[in-house]
């Protein structure tokens, strides 16, 4: 018999503690993107890298 699979996403408490406003989330994404571009260069960053960060 196959193991049961949970359909609810698992979030760490750090991520689910509070929801960021749209402006704060946008700034967070831009800050992380800038950091990745500095570290790897523009050509070294993929959309998947940004999504994962």
Is residue 53 within 8 A of residue 32, CB to CB? The reply is yes
pTM score, whole prediction: 0.59
Is residue 39 within 8 A of residue 50, CB to CB? The reply is no
User: What pLDDT score does 15 carry?
Assistant: 54
Residues 6-43: pLDDT tens digits?
A: 554 554 555 557 899 999 999 999 999 999 999 999 99
If residue 15 lies in a helix (H) or strand (E), which one and from where to where? helix 13-16
């Amino acid at each position: 018999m196959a193991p049961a699979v949970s359909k609810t996403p698992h979030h760490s408490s750090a991520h689910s503690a509070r929801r960021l406003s749209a402006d704060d989330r946008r700034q967070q994404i831009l800050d992380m993107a800038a950091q990745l571009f500095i570290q790897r260069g523009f050509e070294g960053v993929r959309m998947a890298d940004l999504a994962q960060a």
